[in-house]
Amino acid sequence: MLLSARDALARPAELETGPLARSPPLTSPGRAGQVRAALSDLQVFLLAFPRTITDYPYEATICETGIRMVADKSWAFALDTLSLTDEIAREAMISRAELRRFPAGASIIAQDDEEDQVFLLLDGSVRVVLLSEGGQEIWLDTLQPGTILGELAALTDRRRTSEIIAETDCELASYSATAFLTLLKQHGELGLALARILARRVRHTTQRMFELSALSAPGRVYAEILRMSESSAAGRTRTIQPIPSLTAVAVRVNTTRETVSRTISDLERRGLLRRREDAFELVDPDHLARLSTAS
C-alpha cells in the first residue's frame, strides 16, 4: 500500500491500523540496505519532478508495505522561524515554491542583476556582500534558514542591490516576484514576517555603521565575536563553535587578519577567552561587552 503525504495526513487512522502500521520495524535485520535504496529512489524521483508531485515538500519513511510521509523538517523550521502559524499560509508557501539547490561558493543572487525571484532559505547559510568594481567583497551579513532573500527587487522593481553567495551547500524555495507579491496580499502573516525581517536588517545595518565609525578595530572584533557566540550549557560563558576563520572575522569588521589574531591572543592572555580544540569560550561576556563600547 502506498499512502501519499496528503492521504497520510488526512487519514492518520490508516497509519495506526492499516498494513503500514503492521510492517516490521525498520531496525529488522537485513533491511537497512533495502530501506536506503528505497529512500534514494524516492528522493531522485521527487527532485526530478518537484513541480508536478503534490507531495514534494514531505520526506518519506519506507516500510516493506508502503510509504509514510511526514512534514519535511527544513520546511517546518523555516516556516516556524517566520512565525507563520496559519496553515493556509504555510500550505501556500509550500505549494507555490520551486526547489533550488546551490553548492557552497555559488552565487544565488548577482549584484545589479535584473531578475526578481524571491527565495526562502531552507537549509545552509549564505553571506550578503557588496562587490566593488575591482571584485572586492564588502561583507554585509550572514543569513541562516528561515529568512527571505531577494525581496527588495520584487518590492521595488529595481536591480539587485547586493550579491548573495552560498557559504555552504544550500537549499532554497524560489518564488517569482508575481507569486510572492500575491502571497503577501493574500496572507497578512507573511507580510508581518517580512516586515520583521526588514526591521532586523535596518537595526543590524545601523549597529554596524555605528561600530565602523565609533569603535576601534579591537572593539569591533569584541562586538563581532560576541554576536557570533551562543550561550553555553553553564549559562555564564558563551561559545563560538567551530572556531571561526580569522580572515572571515576580519572581513566582517573591516580590518586585517593580523589585527584579529593580535586581538584574540590578547583576550587569551587576559583570561577573557579560552581556545579549545574546536571552539572559543568567552569567559566573561559582560566584561567583553563593556570593553567593546569603551574601545
- Note if the bond before 242 is cis, omega within 30 degrees: yes
- Residue 85 is predicted with a pLDDT of 94
The angle subtended at Cα 97 by Cα 93 and Cα 100, nearest 5°, is 135
Bridge partners (DSSP) listed for residue 239: 230, 281
pLDDT tens-digit map of 170-223:
999 999 999 999 999 999 999 999 999 999 999 999 999 999 999 999 999 999
pLDDT tens-digit map of 67-82:
333 347 899 999 999 9
Q: Which residues of the chain does CATH 2.60.120.10 include?
A: 76-211
Q: Under the phi-then-psi rule, with left for phi > 0, alpha for psi from -120 to 50, and beta for the rest, what region is 83?
A: left
Grid coordinates 529512489 are at which residue?
Answer: 41
- Residue 133 is predicted with a pLDDT of 85
C-beta of residue 86 within 8 angstroms of C-beta of residue 187:
yes
Q: Domain 215-294: which topology?
A: Arc Repressor Mutant, subunit A (1.10.10)
Q: Which residues of the chain does CATH 1.10.10.10 include?
A: 215-294
The alpha carbon dihedral of 177, 94, 82, 223 has a sign of negative
Percent of the chain with pLDDT strictly greater than 90: 69
Average pLDDT value for residue range 114-130: 96
Grid coordinates 525498520 are at which residue?
Answer: 26
Average pLDDT value for residue range 51-64: 39
Average pLDDT value for residue range 84-89: 94
- Residue 167 is predicted with a pLDDT of 95
Global pTM reads 0.72
Task: Name the CATH superfamily housing domain 76-211.
Answer: Jelly Rolls (2.60.120.10)
Gap between the Cα atoms of 180 and 187, Å rounded = 10
Nearest residue to 173 (alpha-carbon basis) of 64, 50, 30, 26: 50
The H or E element spanning position 205 is: helix 188-214
- Residue 281 is predicted with a pLDDT of 95
For residue 293, pLDDT over 70 is answered with yes
The more confident residue out of 221 and 294 is 221
- Residue 260 is predicted with a pLDDT of 97
At 264, is the secondary structure helix, strand, or coil? helix
